[in-house]
A and B are shown apart, each in its own frame.
Chain A
Protein backbone atom coordinates (compact mmCIF):
# COMPACT_ATOMS: atom_id res chain seq x y z
CA UNK A 1 0.00 0.00 0.00
CA UNK A 2 1.62 3.24 -1.12
CA UNK A 3 1.74 6.18 1.21
CA UNK A 4 -0.49 9.16 0.51
CA UNK A 5 0.71 11.62 -2.08
CA UNK A 6 2.79 14.21 -0.31
CA UNK A 7 4.50 11.81 2.10
CA UNK A 8 8.24 11.89 1.78
CA UNK A 9 10.68 9.63 3.60
CA UNK A 10 14.12 10.87 4.62
CA UNK A 11 16.54 8.04 5.43
CA UNK A 12 19.32 9.06 7.81
CA UNK A 13 22.52 7.04 7.44
CA UNK A 14 25.25 7.83 9.96
CA UNK A 15 28.47 6.33 8.66
CA UNK A 16 31.93 5.63 9.92
CA UNK A 17 34.26 3.60 7.70
CA UNK A 18 31.47 2.15 5.59
CA UNK A 19 33.14 2.46 2.20
CA UNK A 20 32.33 -1.16 1.37
CA UNK A 21 28.73 -1.26 2.57
CA UNK A 22 27.48 2.23 1.79
CA UNK A 23 26.97 1.78 -1.98
CA UNK A 24 25.16 -1.50 -1.34
CA UNK A 25 22.82 0.01 1.25
CA UNK A 26 22.09 2.97 -1.00
CA UNK A 27 21.43 0.70 -3.99
CA UNK A 28 18.99 -1.38 -1.94
CA UNK A 29 17.28 1.72 -0.58
CA UNK A 30 16.84 3.23 -4.03
CA UNK A 31 15.48 -0.02 -5.42
CA UNK A 32 13.09 -0.51 -2.48
CA UNK A 33 11.67 3.00 -2.69
CA UNK A 34 11.33 2.94 -6.46
CA UNK A 35 9.49 -0.37 -6.28
CA UNK A 36 7.14 0.88 -3.58
CA UNK A 37 6.55 4.20 -5.29
CA UNK A 38 7.28 6.32 -2.25
CA UNK A 39 9.02 9.67 -2.43
CA UNK A 40 12.37 9.56 -0.64
CA UNK A 41 15.80 11.01 -0.01
CA UNK A 42 18.90 9.52 1.58
CA UNK A 43 21.00 11.66 3.90
CA UNK A 44 24.50 10.36 4.58
CA UNK A 45 26.19 11.82 7.63
CA UNK A 46 29.79 10.78 7.72
CA UNK A 47 32.05 11.20 10.70
CA UNK A 48 35.23 12.07 8.82
CA UNK A 49 35.88 8.45 7.89
CA UNK A 50 39.49 7.88 6.86
CA UNK A 51 38.66 5.02 4.48
CA UNK A 52 37.13 7.11 1.70
CA UNK A 53 33.48 6.72 2.67
CA UNK A 54 32.82 10.35 1.79
CA UNK A 55 34.36 9.94 -1.65
CA UNK A 56 32.18 6.99 -2.45
CA UNK A 57 29.14 8.83 -1.09
CA UNK A 58 29.84 11.66 -3.54
CA UNK A 59 30.05 9.16 -6.40
CA UNK A 60 26.63 7.87 -5.38
CA UNK A 61 25.32 11.41 -5.33
CA UNK A 62 26.43 11.80 -8.95
CA UNK A 63 24.85 8.51 -9.97
CA UNK A 64 21.49 9.00 -8.30
CA UNK A 65 21.18 12.77 -8.24
CA UNK A 66 21.66 15.26 -5.46
CA UNK A 67 17.92 15.52 -4.83
CA UNK A 68 17.98 11.88 -3.76
CA UNK A 69 21.38 11.59 -2.10
CA UNK A 70 22.57 14.25 0.28
CA UNK A 71 26.05 13.96 1.73
CA UNK A 72 27.19 15.77 4.82
CA UNK A 73 30.33 15.40 6.80
CA UNK A 74 30.79 16.22 10.42
CA UNK A 75 34.00 15.70 12.27
CA UNK A 76 33.31 15.47 15.92
CA UNK A 77 35.02 13.83 18.84
CA UNK A 78 31.57 13.32 20.28
CA UNK A 79 30.10 11.65 17.18
CA UNK A 80 27.24 9.49 18.16
CA UNK A 81 23.89 8.53 16.73
CA UNK A 82 22.45 11.57 18.46
CA UNK A 83 24.67 14.19 16.86
CA UNK A 84 24.38 12.46 13.49
CA UNK A 85 20.57 12.56 13.64
CA UNK A 86 20.53 16.21 14.66
CA UNK A 87 22.74 17.13 11.73
CA UNK A 88 20.85 14.86 9.38
CA UNK A 89 17.47 16.28 10.29
CA UNK A 90 18.58 19.80 9.46
CA UNK A 91 18.73 18.73 5.82
CA UNK A 92 15.73 16.44 5.80
CA UNK A 93 12.83 17.61 3.66
CA UNK A 94 10.64 14.59 4.29
CA UNK A 95 7.79 14.40 6.79
CA UNK A 96 8.93 10.97 7.94
CA UNK A 97 12.42 9.97 9.01
CA UNK A 98 13.85 6.45 8.77
CA UNK A 99 16.87 5.67 10.88
CA UNK A 100 18.92 2.57 10.26
CA UNK A 101 22.44 1.16 10.29
CA UNK A 102 24.57 1.53 7.18
CA UNK A 103 26.42 -1.76 7.58
CA UNK A 104 23.75 -3.98 5.97
CA UNK A 105 22.58 -5.42 9.28
CA UNK A 106 19.28 -3.70 8.49
CA UNK A 107 17.70 -4.53 5.14
CA UNK A 108 15.79 -1.73 3.40
CA UNK A 109 13.14 -4.24 2.30
CA UNK A 110 11.45 -3.74 5.67
CA UNK A 111 10.87 -0.03 5.12
CA UNK A 112 7.65 -0.49 3.07
CA UNK A 113 6.39 -2.67 5.93
CA UNK A 114 7.18 0.12 8.38
CA UNK A 115 5.26 2.52 6.17
CA UNK A 116 2.29 0.17 5.92
CA UNK A 117 2.27 -0.32 9.69
CA UNK A 118 2.43 3.40 10.29
CA UNK A 119 -0.57 4.01 8.07
CA UNK A 120 -2.46 1.12 9.63
CA UNK A 121 -2.33 2.51 13.16
CA UNK A 122 -1.41 6.12 12.47
CA UNK A 123 1.61 5.55 14.68
CA UNK A 124 4.08 8.23 15.63
CA UNK A 125 6.89 5.71 15.66
CA UNK A 126 7.33 2.30 14.06
CA UNK A 127 10.08 0.22 15.60
CA UNK A 128 11.74 -2.81 14.03
CA UNK A 129 11.90 -5.67 16.51
CA UNK A 130 14.16 -8.70 16.51
CA UNK A 131 12.29 -10.31 19.38
CA UNK A 132 8.72 -10.73 18.16
CA UNK A 133 6.91 -12.47 15.34
CA UNK A 134 9.34 -13.75 12.75
CA UNK A 135 11.94 -11.17 13.68
CA UNK A 136 15.35 -12.57 14.49
CA UNK A 137 19.10 -12.42 14.14
CA UNK A 138 21.71 -14.09 11.95
CA UNK A 139 25.32 -14.50 13.04
CA UNK A 140 24.98 -14.61 16.81
CA UNK A 141 26.19 -17.50 18.94
CA UNK A 142 24.35 -18.75 22.00
CA UNK A 143 26.25 -16.52 24.39
CA UNK A 144 25.44 -13.38 22.42
CA UNK A 145 21.78 -14.34 22.17
CA UNK A 146 21.64 -15.04 25.90
CA UNK A 147 23.09 -11.63 26.73
CA UNK A 148 20.63 -10.01 24.36
CA UNK A 149 17.57 -11.77 25.78
CA UNK A 150 18.76 -11.34 29.34
CA UNK A 151 19.36 -7.62 28.94
CA UNK A 152 16.02 -7.20 27.22
CA UNK A 153 14.24 -9.07 30.01
CA UNK A 154 15.76 -6.87 32.71
CA UNK A 155 14.82 -3.80 30.68
CA UNK A 156 11.23 -4.98 30.27
CA UNK A 157 10.84 -5.67 33.99
CA UNK A 158 12.35 -2.37 35.10
CA UNK A 159 11.05 0.01 32.47
CA UNK A 160 7.84 -1.65 31.17
CA UNK A 161 8.36 0.27 27.95
CA UNK A 162 5.56 -1.07 25.79
CA UNK A 163 7.95 -2.07 23.01
CA UNK A 164 9.70 -5.40 22.67
CA UNK A 165 13.03 -4.25 21.20
CA UNK A 166 14.47 -1.18 22.87
CA UNK A 167 18.06 -1.22 21.71
CA UNK A 168 17.14 -1.61 18.07
CA UNK A 169 18.01 1.23 15.72
CA UNK A 170 15.84 0.48 12.71
CA UNK A 171 12.87 2.79 13.08
CA UNK A 172 10.48 5.12 11.33
CA UNK A 173 9.56 8.39 13.04
CA UNK A 174 7.30 11.26 12.18
CA UNK A 175 9.73 14.11 11.67
CA UNK A 176 8.31 16.36 14.38
CA UNK A 177 8.28 13.45 16.83
CA UNK A 178 11.96 12.72 16.23
CA UNK A 179 12.79 16.40 16.61
CA UNK A 180 10.94 16.58 19.91
CA UNK A 181 12.64 13.44 21.21
CA UNK A 182 16.09 14.61 20.17
CA UNK A 183 15.65 17.64 22.37
CA UNK A 184 14.96 15.45 25.37
CA UNK A 185 17.39 12.55 24.99
CA UNK A 186 20.85 12.77 26.44
CA UNK A 187 22.36 9.28 26.45
CA UNK A 188 24.72 7.61 24.00
CA UNK A 189 24.91 4.33 22.12
CA UNK A 190 22.44 1.56 22.99
CA UNK A 191 20.98 3.56 25.80
CA UNK A 192 20.16 6.44 23.45
CA UNK A 193 17.88 4.19 21.42
CA UNK A 194 16.25 2.96 24.63
CA UNK A 195 15.78 6.48 25.91
CA UNK A 196 14.02 7.50 22.71
CA UNK A 197 11.34 4.86 23.21
CA UNK A 198 10.95 5.53 26.92
CA UNK A 199 10.58 9.29 26.43
CA UNK A 200 8.24 8.71 23.51
CA UNK A 201 5.94 6.76 25.80
CA UNK A 202 6.16 9.49 28.42
CA UNK A 203 5.12 12.08 25.88
CA UNK A 204 2.18 9.94 24.83
CA UNK A 205 3.43 9.01 21.35
CA UNK A 206 2.16 5.77 19.83
CA UNK A 207 4.56 3.02 18.84
CA UNK A 208 3.93 0.23 16.35
CA UNK A 209 6.22 -2.74 15.80
CA UNK A 210 7.36 -4.68 12.74
CA UNK A 211 9.46 -7.87 13.00
CA UNK A 212 12.80 -7.49 11.25
CA UNK A 213 15.81 -9.68 10.62
CA UNK A 214 19.17 -8.39 11.80
CA UNK A 215 22.11 -9.84 9.84
CA UNK A 216 25.24 -9.37 11.88
CA UNK A 217 28.35 -9.76 9.75
CA UNK A 218 30.44 -7.73 12.15
CA UNK A 219 30.06 -9.68 15.38
CA UNK A 220 33.15 -11.75 14.72
CA UNK A 221 35.21 -8.57 14.88
CA UNK A 222 33.49 -6.59 17.58
CA UNK A 223 32.78 -8.77 20.56
CA UNK A 224 30.38 -7.55 23.16
CA UNK A 225 32.82 -6.65 25.89
CA UNK A 226 32.55 -6.07 29.60
CA UNK A 227 32.74 -2.32 29.05
CA UNK A 228 29.65 -2.30 26.86
CA UNK A 229 27.70 -4.36 29.36
CA UNK A 230 28.69 -2.05 32.20
CA UNK A 231 27.69 1.07 30.32
CA UNK A 232 24.42 -0.56 29.30
CA UNK A 233 23.62 -1.31 32.95
CA UNK A 234 24.58 2.20 33.99
CA UNK A 235 22.36 3.64 31.28
CA UNK A 236 19.50 1.34 32.23
CA UNK A 237 19.78 2.41 35.86
CA UNK A 238 19.77 6.07 34.84
CA UNK A 239 16.59 5.59 32.82
CA UNK A 240 15.04 3.60 35.66
CA UNK A 241 15.78 6.30 38.20
CA UNK A 242 14.94 9.35 36.10
CA UNK A 243 11.96 8.45 33.93
Chain B
Protein backbone atom coordinates (compact mmCIF):
# COMPACT_ATOMS: atom_id res chain seq x y z
CA UNK B 1 0.00 0.00 0.00
CA UNK B 2 1.29 3.48 -0.77
CA UNK B 3 2.00 6.00 2.00
CA UNK B 4 -1.01 7.98 0.80
CA UNK B 5 -3.08 4.82 1.08
CA UNK B 6 -1.87 4.23 4.63
CA UNK B 7 -2.73 7.78 5.62
CA UNK B 8 -6.20 7.56 4.08
CA UNK B 9 -6.89 4.25 5.84
CA UNK B 10 -5.65 5.60 9.14
CA UNK B 11 -7.71 8.76 8.82
CA UNK B 12 -10.78 6.77 7.77
CA UNK B 13 -10.40 4.51 10.79
CA UNK B 14 -9.91 7.31 13.29
CA UNK B 15 -12.52 9.41 11.56
CA UNK B 16 -15.22 6.78 11.76
CA UNK B 17 -14.37 6.02 15.38
CA UNK B 18 -14.70 9.71 16.19
CA UNK B 19 -17.99 10.03 14.31
CA UNK B 20 -19.35 6.96 16.05
CA UNK B 21 -18.39 8.07 19.54
CA UNK B 22 -18.60 11.85 19.45
CA UNK B 23 -21.44 12.60 17.09
CA UNK B 24 -23.55 9.90 18.66
CA UNK B 25 -25.79 8.48 15.99
CA UNK B 26 -28.77 6.77 17.59
CA UNK B 27 -28.02 3.32 18.90
CA UNK B 28 -24.63 4.18 20.35
CA UNK B 29 -24.70 6.72 23.12
CA UNK B 30 -21.91 7.50 25.46
CA UNK B 31 -22.57 9.61 28.53
CA UNK B 32 -22.67 13.33 27.66
CA UNK B 33 -19.37 14.43 29.28
CA UNK B 34 -17.41 11.89 27.20
CA UNK B 35 -19.05 13.07 24.01
CA UNK B 36 -18.33 16.69 24.95
CA UNK B 37 -14.68 15.85 25.39
CA UNK B 38 -14.37 13.86 22.18
CA UNK B 39 -16.02 16.43 19.94
CA UNK B 40 -13.15 18.89 19.62
CA UNK B 41 -10.53 16.12 19.63
CA UNK B 42 -9.58 16.36 15.93
CA UNK B 43 -8.89 20.06 16.27
CA UNK B 44 -6.86 19.50 19.44
CA UNK B 45 -4.79 16.82 17.73
CA UNK B 46 -4.17 19.07 14.75
CA UNK B 47 -3.02 21.91 16.98
CA UNK B 48 -0.87 19.55 19.02
CA UNK B 49 0.75 18.25 15.85
CA UNK B 50 1.31 21.81 14.69
CA UNK B 51 3.08 22.67 17.94
CA UNK B 52 5.16 19.51 17.77
CA UNK B 53 6.19 20.35 14.21
CA UNK B 54 7.21 23.90 15.07
CA UNK B 55 9.13 22.76 18.12
CA UNK B 56 10.92 19.98 16.23
CA UNK B 57 11.89 22.08 13.24
CA UNK B 58 12.92 24.93 15.56
CA UNK B 59 15.10 22.63 17.63
CA UNK B 60 16.69 21.06 14.56
CA UNK B 61 17.31 24.49 13.08
CA UNK B 62 18.99 25.68 16.25
CA UNK B 63 21.20 22.61 16.48
CA UNK B 64 22.13 22.52 12.79
CA UNK B 65 25.93 22.20 12.87
CA UNK B 66 28.04 24.89 11.21
CA UNK B 67 31.11 23.21 9.84
CA UNK B 68 33.68 25.97 10.29
CA UNK B 69 36.66 23.64 10.64
CA UNK B 70 35.59 21.68 7.58
CA UNK B 71 35.62 24.83 5.48
CA UNK B 72 39.01 25.89 6.81
CA UNK B 73 40.45 22.42 6.29
CA UNK B 74 39.13 22.40 2.74
CA UNK B 75 40.97 25.64 1.98
CA UNK B 76 44.23 24.08 3.17
CA UNK B 77 43.63 20.97 1.11
CA UNK B 78 42.88 23.07 -1.96
CA UNK B 79 46.22 24.89 -1.64
CA UNK B 80 48.11 21.64 -1.16
CA UNK B 81 46.32 20.08 -4.10
CA UNK B 82 47.04 22.98 -6.45
CA UNK B 83 50.70 22.97 -5.56
CA UNK B 84 51.10 19.25 -5.98
CA UNK B 85 49.18 19.15 -9.25
CA UNK B 86 51.28 21.98 -10.65
CA UNK B 87 54.37 19.97 -9.79
CA UNK B 88 52.94 16.97 -11.59
CA UNK B 89 52.46 19.04 -14.70
CA UNK B 90 48.82 19.99 -14.63
CA UNK B 91 48.12 23.14 -16.58
CA UNK B 92 45.23 24.83 -14.84
Contact = CB atoms under 8 A, between A and B. Distances in A.
A130 B2 CA distance: 27
A23 interface: yes
Contacts of A60: 90
Given A24-B81, A107-B70, A240 B65 contact: no
Interface in A129-175: 131, 134-139, 142, 145-146, 148-150, 152-153, 157-160
Contacts of B71: 138-139, 215
B81 to A, nearest CB: 4
A213 B67 contact: yes
Nearest to A156: B56
Interface string A195-225: 0000000000000000001110000000000
Interface SS, A side: helix
Interface in B1-53: 2-4, 53
B70 A215 contact: yes
Given A60-B90, A136-B66, A138-B70, A243 B2 contact: yes
Contact of A23 (B57, B74, B92): B92
Interface size class of B (residues with CB under 8 A): 20 to 34
* B interface majority secondary structure: helix
Contacts of A27: 81, 84-85
B13 to A, nearest CB: 18
B10 to A, nearest CB: 12
Given A27-B81, A59-B89, A152-B60, 19 more contacts: A24-B78, A63-B89, A63-B90, A107-B77, A131-B60, A137-B67, A138-B66, A139-B71, A142-B61, A145-B61, A159-B3, A213-B67, A215-B67, A215-B70, A215-B74, A240-B2, A240-B3, A240-B4, A241-B3
Interface of B: 2-4, 53, 56-57, 60-61, 64-68, 70-71, 73-74, 77-78, 81-82, 84-85, 88-92
Interface of A: 23-24, 27-28, 56, 59-60, 63, 104, 107, 131, 134-139, 142, 145-146, 148-150, 152-153, 157-160, 213-215, 239-243
20 contacts: A23-B92, A27-B84, A28-B77, A59-B90, A59-B91, A63-B88, A104-B78, A107-B74, A107-B77, A136-B66, A136-B70, A137-B65, A138-B70, A145-B61, A146-B57, A150-B57, A153-B57, A213-B65, A214-B67, A243-B2
